[in-house]
Amino acid sequence: MTEEIAEDRLLERLRDAYGLSAAALTRIPRGGDPSTIAYRVELGDGSSCFLEVKGGPFDEIAAGIALPRFLADLGLPQVVAPIPELTGRPSARLDRFHLVLFPFVSGRNAFETPLSEDQLIELGSVMKVVHSAAPSLELRWRLPVEAFAPAARIRARHHLGDAGSRRGGDPAAMEFAAFLDSRKAEIGRIVDRAE
């Protein structure tokens, strides 16, 4: 984002919209969205929050606000949902910008540190709740939906059909063909569900 907001204005808006006595802001370098600036907000009590200052077009669902809030409201403490402002709205305005405030989570992500066995089990339990959830029609209508190309399913079925009949050739290809053949039914069910 080329245009920035003075930190004193951000601190004032955090106080007015969220009732927070923020002591300091520290800009956090982030990639991905050039229209967003991220800050660590140091509060007067020593705790921290994570602030996104979003410029440009703003949609609560596209901005990743509505779905995490819905999931957190289901009772999933593992979901980091935005903190509503004092009026209950999920974000605050400051001029043409939207301020979205989250709890600050300190630590490393699973790309940096692999999950333990217990963490994987907890992740599975959380994902079961996520995939069983029934969001409102408005939320469902606006969520992106994955599309699977029919050509890819056709090719996958073709390769599954040929897997057991392949002979000779590259040892790695033969090993992969044997794997496909041993899991043909399971992989076939996955391919069928992709339609």
**Residue 95's domain is classified under what CATH number?**
3.30.200.20
Domain limits for position 17:
1-145
SS3 content of the chain, % helix, strand, coil (to 5): 40, 15, 45
User: pTM score, two decimals?
Assistant: 0.68
Q: How far apart are the first and last CA of the chain?
A: 40
Give pLDDT tens digits along the chain (195 positions).
556 788 899 999 999 999 998 789 999 887 667 888 999 999 988 899 999 998 877 776 555 788 888 999 999 999 999 999 999 988 899 998 999 999 998 887 777 888 899 999 999 999 999 889 888 888 888 777 777 677 877 888 887 877 767 666 778 878 888 888 888 888 888 877 765
- For residues 132 and 156, state if they share a domain: no
- For residues 117 and 157, state if they share a domain: no
How far is residue 60's CA from residue 62's CA, in Å, rounded to a whole number?
6
Looking at 145, 167, 182, the residue that finishes a domain is: 145
Distances from the Cα of 113 to the Cα of 16, 108, 143, angstroms:
38, 7, 30
- For residues 109 and 170, state if they share a domain: no
- For residues 100 and 128, state if they share a domain: yes
Residues 123-137 as b or e (16 or more Cβ within 10 Å = b) = eeeeeeeeeeeeeee
- For residues 130 and 186, state if they share a domain: no
- For residues 80 and 172, state if they share a domain: no
Overall number of domains in the chain = 2
- For residues 58 and 7, state if they share a domain: yes
- For residues 63 and 134, state if they share a domain: yes
Q: For residue 176, what pLDDT is reported?
A: 81
Looking at 125, 145, 165, the residue that finishes a domain is: 145
Of 146, 193, 187, 184, residue with least CA distance to 163: 184
Assigned token pair, 83: 């903190």
- For residues 141 and 180, state if they share a domain: no
- For residues 134 and 181, state if they share a domain: no
How far is residue 180's CA from residue 161's CA, in Å, rounded to a whole number?
9
- For residues 87 and 30, state if they share a domain: yes
CA 75 from centre of chain: 17
How far is residue 91's CA from residue 38's CA, in Å, rounded to a whole number?
14
80 and 101 in contact (C-beta within 8 Å)? no
- For residues 131 and 174, state if they share a domain: no
Place of tokens 């050509």: 151
Q: How many CB atoms lie under 10 A from the CB of residue 175? A: 10
